[in-house]
Structure 1
Amino acid sequence: MTEISTESVRANVKVRASELVGRNWLNTGGETVTLQDLRGKIVVLDFWTFCCINCLHVIDELRPLEEKYQDELVIVGVHSPKFEHEADPVALAAAVERYEIHHPVLDDPELATWEAYAARAWPTLAVIDPEGYLVANLSGEGHANGLDVLIGELIAEHEGKGTLHRGDGPYVAPPAREGDLRFPGKVVALDNGNFLVGDSGHHRLVELASDLSTVVRTIGEGTKGHADGGAATARFNEPQGLVVLPAAVAGEVGYDVVVADTVNHRLRGVNLETGAVITLAGNGVQRLLDSERSRESGGEEPRELGADPLNTSLSSPWDVVWSEKAGALIVAMAGTHQIFSFDPRTGALAVFAGTGLEGLQDGSAAEAWFAQSSGLATDAAGDLWIADSETSALRRIAFDDDGAAAAVETAIGAGLFDFGFRDGAADQARLQHPLGVAVLPDGSVAIADTYNGAVRRYDPAAKTVSTLARGLAEPSDVLLDASVAGDPVLLVVETNQHRLVRLPLPKEALTVDEGASQTQRPKTPVAPGEHGIVVRFSAPKGQKLDDRWGDPTQLKISSSPEELLLDGAGTSVGLTRTLTLDPEVGDGILHITARAAACDGEPGGEIPDHAACHLYQQDWGIPVAFAADGATELVLDLRGLD
């Protein structure tokens, strides 16, 4: 298979799109799809992996385009797995169903099509015209408006040439799933002995009796959307985390439960007596890091996010927990790789920890990096434990005397591309994309080790890891079940079995060692010594670079191991950098984050007052291997559509 060069795409050289090769097809009724079958259609290839929150954002960005151009456009999801579990065809089929993907999906576990299209990051989009030529290659989120313009232009061009064929595409809907729960996400215990579940696949909340099967009531209409109101009419969109407020706080604010309404990018409040649902924070617009204010403040977001929570954008809040130390809710803001705080009494929202850069970096709260944090719990000392899913890590935040985050440290985990199933000493132990945490009576931490299908235990005193249970189908949450008398029992949300199960804590935990792994992707041959990094970006039509506060672009570069980079690491403005690589270190990974800010306006003109501004960002982790004839320059695309 011939690799498509992004250089030729940029140079407007006509390049035939490479054939779509993989193990299997989903959402096609069992039929194989070829590019010849798609001739006459505009095709968008969406390279994704189901662990990736940015990929899930792009799937949602593409939905309006699928509907608007249903006769001219075919989107093909090319699933190129990051984690070992994601290469499991059963797990992929469940993810396609869970996220309601309404287009064909190519299962590409060997990354054959990924490599042919020179993809380097999740998500990546490639656009193919009706004659089968590649016309655009994009990385990251935020390209929907530019794609809309490009698709309209391609329709006009190929309608005039007679090469556009309207009509249905190859999508075949799978059968609907029956059952009381559908891909449940998180659970919380209620004071009446029942449990409230985020029934994510049905877009509602379900109250279950203590037998875990009897449905006491549902809250939410069960249709994807956003609407406040009574239990029968309110709407959610893939709700995940839930927390019951302390009684005194609930009495003051008038609701009892706060819900992370993930795909609505909102926090919701639920009154348990009436079932009424209100919106507490979030305007429904997915938050990107505030490009204008972050550049004014030296590259970081302001910690305080304004006085009006309903006019503040959030990004995929995944879990919520009440912190007595902070006197507020703590929110795992998976979409921006940060931890937020929210005071329900005042409505104050703030960045509690994290810069917004994706990765594993400890230190002060303002300097730490997270990666799609998805589970939260507090311990007896009031410290915060975090399931940091994309780094397969367990993190901890300690508090200072004023209730602010003091320091972030990693208990388990090595990096963005490191995972595995290994017990023992915590510094050598490995998880695989954990989504939930709970603190046990002895102070140890139970972890829903989702992609290993296991519940793990971390002992903070001994700094060791063990396994409490395995053989589960994507456990996404764990809860200490105080309703059961006797020895402690864990309640586990087994997402891909659409159920909750009780697991007695074993007298002796298992010790598992199935090894440590790294994400396997094709390595880029590089020459030793100096190496140029160039990130290409041009603002989409109708936008211009926002240079009101200086250079609106930024590049941050690091490496694993750190010793790989002799020179060129760090953060600076501009989208070019010269690195010096040390061949004595051997193979490694370059971690590159690029940002560019653009606002609505015409090139050469002034940016209008109150213009909408956009921050384009992409993180790349690029494996490199030294070769005498290797490249001396790496060119990446973070680009709008001309």
Structure 2
Amino acid sequence: MAGVSGAQAQLEAALLEAAGQIQKEQLILQYLGKIDGGETELKAPEFAEGLEWVNTETSLLLHKDLCGKVVILDFFTYCCINCMHLLPDLHALEEKYSDKDGLVIVGVHSAKFPNEKVLKNIQNAVLRYNITHPVVNDADAKLWQELEVTCWPTLVILGPRGNILFTLIGEGHKEKLFTLISVTLKYYKDKGEIMDHAIKLKLYKDSLPPSSLLFPGKIAVDNATGRLAIADSGHHRILVTEKNGEILHAIGGPKSGWKDGSIFEASFNSPQGVLIKDNIIYVADTENHVIRKIDLTSEMVSTIAGTGVQGTDHEGGKTGVEQSISSPWDLAFGTFDSTKDSLLFIAMAGTHQIWVIFLEDGKLHSGIEYKKGTCIRFAGSGNEENRNNSYPHKAGFAQPSGLSVALPEWNCLFISDSESSTIRSVSLKNGAVKNLVGGERDPLNLFAFGDLDGIGINAKLQHPLGVAWNEKRSLLYVADSYNHKIKVIDPKTKQCTTLAGTGKPDNVIGAKFNQVTFNEPGGVCVGEHGDVLYVVDTNNHKVKVLDLEMQTVYVLAITAAVAVDASKSTKPKISRLPKSAHSLQMVPLVVSCGQTVQFCLKIDLPEGAELTEGAPSYWALFAEGHDWLFAGQKISGTIVDLANHPGVFFVIPAQVKTNALLLSIDVCLYFCKKNDNSCQMKGISFQQPLQFSNICQDTISKVNLSFSF
């Protein structure tokens, strides 16, 4: 592509000197007129036969199916953070121009890691990133080589005859990309070369069944309560569950967004890292490029760092929403002094650094003091490399994606540095960055990966995304994501060995560690005071639990609500409704022992609204101080379809212990409006007085519980 590259270099220089948008467009038109047609015109090679395609009915031919289109070839590999950063620009472009307008984007997946060559894994990535254009698996990098592509991401823009027009390398070209496409479409439309035929798509996401979790990213446990916080990344929400998986809160989802406020109205965009402690949850809201705080006591969500737009700052120093950040991927609590958990460390994947937020006034190891809320670089130059150094700002990381603090024994921060396939450490005493396992000594070699147990750099990992320190056992657990394994490291000896997983990307729920399989596990955390390891099995949409004592495995059952046997409980389950829930007083109902009471839900949602798939809409019964009323009966349940809900049933027991009581029927609904993609959670508490007669009868009494939003 030397001819085009030389001409484009001249265009780039001229564009820098251009006085305004009109002049830029004129320069591009002149460039197109110069390179279009003629003996110097370069044509892109045809897609090879037998290539695997995603999101299409059949394979595509460049010079047949895409003839008459301006085509953008997006050369990417799905692990690459820079490739992820480019996707919003491509999404925006597709919203403005369709194939009818003459534009088609084709993702050309040219893998870095062997795991990324597998079609199923590419399909999962297409789902994860909501890619809706055709993607071809260039597994052998044939097209990459023929078009002389050298790095990810690279865009090659073709004209309607498959003629090569432009090449854009890297991210951050949105304005230029839009201008190039706008002018190019106009140029070829004026020449009559644009064709408006449709490209036959068959989106992979349309073939998938719904699930409780969708590409979950990370998990955290509050050891004081046993509660879990799960980043349900594909559903753009945070789940708070009991340790048995019962959902207590679902915050955000199902659509992406960036909205603070009530936990019932807040929204997220592909969140990853989570921490939970004392009713506070911190969230790395990755694709919003912000850090969020969820206060479960006040039921409010706030942004504590980030502007909502991807930042390029490599230093920091500002506070709150004034400080821009880039693709935060994981979080960890830490401290440099006696103030416990006064720091929030961030794996800043987008700038290949480690940052820190001061949760209280404090100072770094250097002695410099910072005010509460300050967000600043802690380690990493910003260069993408595997460079260790005694000075933290001179060290280099490559897409750090997992964090875990080891106190007090090691007094360091362990890091899973995914693109260098290493596990690293940063001293909290002096900031020194060291290698623990994986990689090699050349800091510029980011291809030293594999699947090999061993010591130090003799061990090999493949794109690890998660780490978790086990204080009780003095061991570090690693989600070796692209090897589909969980590994364990002894920091004293640097010995790295396989703990669980066969290495095959599958979903076998084996009872033993050597039988279970994973598919790109993305997060790990230690629970039960060191005896349990929670594993986020990302591509299997599950959380698997490893019992470190018994060496057994089970799947965490994510449920919206569970039936409770009130005869075995000292207190009925009290549902948790939002503070804004409506309360309706019902007319007293006379009932008798042995009688069945059926409450029929007649609830009208706002026009255009539907219950949210996978969200925990539910009903629950309780009568304060009267457990006997529900003895042995189901007192809570899920709601998935209001129109066909069977209603709420319970039978008055034979032994009635009072003349009257107040029954509460609580209904909690998650719903979304299709027309504006807004989602809400609403609660209604029907207050039903019950009066008991002296006569027992085997009858059914039906009561309509009606409400319209």
Q: TM-score, normalised by structure 2?
A: 0.65
Contact 2:51 2:59 in 1 (8 A): no
Pairing of 1:212-291 with structure 2 (within 5 A):
212=245, 214-245=246-277, 247=278, 256-289=280-313
Number of equivalenced pairs: 480
Show the counterpart of 1:579: none
The aligned amino acid for 1:370 is F
> SS of 2:393's equivalent?
coil
- The alignment status of 1:100 with 2:130, answered yes or no, reads yes
Deviation per residue, 1:572-623 (Å, 9 max, x gap): xxxxxxxxxxxxxxxxxxxxxxxxxxxxxxxxxxxxxxxxxxxxxxxxxxxx
After superposition, the C-alpha distances for 1:108-159 in whole angstroms (9 at most, x for unaligned) are 1111111111111011110001232110112100111111111111121111
Q: Contact 1:438–1:445 at 8 Å: present in 2 too?
A: yes
Q: Tell me if the contact between 1:80 and 1:111 (Cα under 8 Å) persists in the aligned partners.
A: yes
How large is the Cα RMSD of the aligned pairs? 2.2
Give the structure 1 partner of residue 88 of structure 2: 60
Distance 1:169 1:347 in 2: 50
Q: Hey, what does 2:428 align to over in structure 1?
A: 399
More displaced 10-residue stretch of structure 1: 274-283 or 377-386: 274-283
Contact 1:338 1:370 in 2 (8 A): yes
Alignment of 1:25-424 (within 5 A): 25-70=53-98, 71-166=101-196, 168-174=198-204, 175=206, 176-190=208-222, 191-212=224-245, 214-245=246-277, 247=278, 256-289=280-313, 301-302=314-315, 305-325=316-336, 327-345=342-360, 346-363=372-389, 364-381=391-408, 382-400=411-429, 405-414=431-440, 415-424=445-454
Structure 2 residue corresponding to 1:482, chosen from 499, 503, 528: 528
Is contact 2:77–2:112 with CA below 8 Å preserved after alignment?
A: yes
Indicate the residue corresponding to 1:500 in structure 2: 543
Take 2:434 and 2:497, find their aligned partners in 1: how far apart are those partners? 23
Q: How does 1:456-471 map to 2 (within 5 A)?
A: 456-470=487-501, 471=517
Residue 589 of structure 1 corresponds to none
Give how far 1:61 is off: 1.8
For the pair shown, the structure with the greater C-alpha radius of gyration is 2
Shift in alpha-carbon separation, 1:139–1:231, aligned structure 2, 3 A = same
Query: 3-state SS of the aligned residue for 1:151?
Result: helix
- 1:28·1:170 contact (CA, 8 Å) conserved in 2? yes
Contact 1:78–1:105, Cα closer than 8 Å, also in 2: yes
Alignment counterpart, residue 15 of structure 1, candidates 35, 42, 49: 42
2-structure distance, mates of 1:506, 1:18? 57
Question: Using the alignment, how far apart are the partners of 1:468 and 1:229 within structure 2?
Answer: 42
CA distance in structure 2 between the partners assigned to 1:51 and 1:218 by the alignment:
28
Contact 2:449 2:460 in 1 (8 A): yes
| Superposed displacement of residue 406, structure 1 | 3.8
- The secondary structure found in structure 1 opposite 2:543 is strand
Contact 2:4 2:164 in 1 (8 A): no
State how far apart, in whole Å, the 2-side matches of 1:139 and 1:277 are: 37
Distance, in Å, in 1 between the alignment partners of 2:2 and 2:213 is: 44
Q: Report Cα offsets for 1:349-380 as digits up to 9, x if no partner.
A: 11000010001000010100000000000112
Q: Give matches, 1:529-548, under 5 Å.
A: none
Within 2, Cα distance between the matches of 1:186 and 1:68?
Answer: 34
- Change in 2 beyond 3 A, CA 1:243/1:26: same
Looking at structure 1, the residues matched to 551 and 7 of structure 2 have their Cα atoms a distance apart, in angstroms, of 60
SS at match of 2:184: helix
**How far apart, CA to CA, are the structure 1 residues paired with 2:63 and 2:231?**
40
Does structure 2 conserve the Cα–Cα contact (< 8 Å) formed by 1:392 and 1:432? yes
Query: Structure 1 residue 78: deviation in Å?
Result: 0.3
In structure 2, distance between residues paired with 1:211 and 1:136 = 54
- Please state whether the residue corresponding to 1:51 is helix, strand or coil: coil
Letter in 1 for 2:297: E
Structure 1 partner of 2:561 = none
Measure the CA separation in 1 of the matches of 2:433 and 2:247. 42
Provide the rounded CA distance (Å) in 1 between the counterparts of 2:397 and 2:252: 32
- C-alpha contact (below 8 Å) 2:417/2:464 kept by paired residues: yes
CA shift for structure 1 position 167: 5.0
1:214-264 Cα shifts (integer Å, max 9, x gaps):
33320013211111122222110000001135x5xxxxxxx7111000000
Q: Whole-Å Cα distance in 1 between the matches of residues 392 and 176 of structure 2? A: 35
Worse-matched range after superposition: 165-174 or 89-98: 165-174
Kindly indicate whether the alpha-carbon contact (under 8 Å) linking 1:256 and 1:272 is maintained by their aligned counterparts in 2: yes
Tell me the amino acid that sits aligned with residue 496 of structure 1: N
Structure 1, 15-24 or 93-102: larger mean CA deviation: 15-24
Q: Assess, with a 3 A threshold, how the Cα gap between structure 1 residues 33 and 200 changes in structure 2: closer, same or farther.
A: farther
Measured in 2, the distance between the counterparts of 1:367 and 1:376 equals 19
**SS at 1:239's partner residue?**
coil
Could you list the per-position Cα deviations for residues 252-286 of structure 1 after superposition, in whole angstroms to 9, with x for gaps in the alignment? xxx71110000000001101234321111111121
2 CA distance for matches of 1:57 and 1:383? 30
Cα distance in 1 between the residues matched to 2:225 and 2:122: 37
Contact 1:3 1:18 in 2 (8 A): no
Residue 56 (structure 1) shift: 0.8
Contact persistence 1:6–1:118 (CA under 8 A):
no
Cα displacement string for residues 475-515 of structure 1 (whole angstroms, at most 9, x for unaligned residues): 111111217xxx82211000011010111237899xxxxxx
How many angstroms does 1:447 deviate by?
0.4
> Contact 2:421 / 2:449 at 8 angstroms: preserved in 1?
yes
Cα distance change of structure 1 residues 493 and 508 upon mapping to structure 2, 3 Å threshold: closer
Partner of 1:65, secondary structure, is helix
Asked if the contact 2:73–2:106 (Cα under 8 Å) also holds between the matched residues in 1, the reply is: yes
Deviations along 1:184-206, one digit per CA (max 9) or x if unpaired, are: 00011134322110000000111
Residues 1:454 and 2:485 aligned together: yes
Counterparts of 1:506 and 1:361 in 2: how far apart (Å)?
37
**CA–CA separation in structure 2 for the residues paired with 1:52 and 1:207:** 29
Query: Aligned partners of 2:42, 2:7: CA distance in 1, in Å?
Result: 7
SS at match of 2:522: strand
Change in CA separation of 1:113 and 1:505 when aligned onto 2, cut-off 3 Å? same
Alignment check: 8 A CA contact 2:303 2:320 kept? no
In structure 1, distance between residues paired with 2:189 and 2:139: 36
In structure 2, what is the Cα distance between the partners aligned to 1:452 and 1:8? Answer: 44
Q: Paired residue for 1:639?
A: none
Larger RCO: 1 or 2 (CA < 8 Å, sep 6+):
1
Structure 2 gap ranges (5+):
11-34, 361-371, 502-516, 553-709
SS at match of 2:317: coil
Distance in 2 of aligned mates of 1:167 and 1:308: 51
Give the distance between the partners of 1:306 and 1:350, measured in 2 at CA.
Answer: 5
Query: How far apart are residue 34 of structure 1 and its match?
Result: 3.1
Match of 1:181, SS state, is coil
Secondary structure at the aligned position of 1:475 is classed as coil
Structure 1 residue identity aligned to 2:296? L
Residues 26 and 283 of structure 1, relative CA distance in 2, 3 Å threshold: same
After TM superposition, the score normalised by the length of structure 1 is 0.71
